[in-house]
Amino acid sequence: MEIKYFGHSCFLLRDKNATLLIDPFSPEVGLKLPRIATDIVTVTHDHYDHNNTGIVQAKMREEPFIIKGPGEYEVSGVSIFGVATYHDNSLGKERGRNTIYIIIMDGIRLAHLGDLGHVLTDEQLEEVNGVDILFIPTGGIYTLDAKEAVEVIGQIEPRVVIPMHYQLPGLKIKLNPVEDFLKEMGLKEIKPLDKLVISRERLPEEREVVVLNAKS
C-alpha cells in the first residue's frame, strides 16, 4: 500500500486493486490540490475544507464511489465502515457531526478520524478497534489538540500514527503546528517522508509516528 498526503486532512491510499481519496479540500483553504483520478472518495463531514468532491476525476470511465456518512460499504475490494462522532466536545452543538472511517485495504486496517473533537466513548471505541494505521487531527482549535490527540491514541493503540489537520505553509485556517503534537508525544524532530509505502508484513512492532510531506 502507498499513502500520499496532500495537506490538511487529505490522503490518497493506493493498493493493487483500488485508490481511495479522503477529505479533498477546496482551494479556499490556501493549499493546492491537483485533480485526482480515484475509485472511492470518503468525506468525513460537509465543510469546504473536507468535501471538494468536484476535484475528483473518474477512473476507468466510471464515476468514483462517494461516501458521506456512517454505514458499511464494500467497493473495489475495499471495506469501509463509517462511525458517527462529533466535530466538537458538545455533541455537535458547535460544529456538527463527523464521521470516522475504518478502511480495510491490502490487509491493513486504517482509521481516519476526520475532524474529531472529543475522546471516544466506549461504544465508539468498540467500533474503532484493531487499528494498524491511524490518521489523527492534532492542530487543535477546531479539532483535538496535541494533548487530546495523545489521549485518543492511547485509547485506540495503533501501530502507526500519522498526524494531520495542523498548520502548513499557505494554509489560511489557523491551527497549531505539528511540533506541538510531537513534543506531547515525547518525540524530537522527525524527518518527513514524501510517501509511506507499507504492507501488512512491514507494520512495526512498536508504535511509530510518521510525518508526511504535503504534496501539491
What is this structure's pTM? Answer: 0.95
Task: Write out pLDDT tens, residues 120-175.
Answer: 999 999 999 999 999 999 999 999 999 999 999 999 999 999 999 999 999 999 99
Q: Looking at residue 88, what is its pLDDT?
A: 77
DSSP conformation letters of the chain: -EEEEEETTEEEEE-SS-EEEE----GGGS-----EE-SEEE-SSSSTTT--GGGEEPBTTBPPEEE-SSEEEEETTEEEEEEEEESSSSTTTTT-EEEEEEEEETTEEEEE-TT--SPPPHHHHHHS-S-SEEEEE-S-SSS--HHHHHHHHHHH--SEEEEES---TT--S----HHHHHHHTT----PPBS-EE--GGG--SS-EE--BPBP-
Lowest mean pLDDT among 25-34, 83-92, 118-127: 83-92
Q: Looking at residue 58, what is its pLDDT?
A: 61
Domains present along the chain, CATH in parentheses: 2-209 (3.60.15.10)
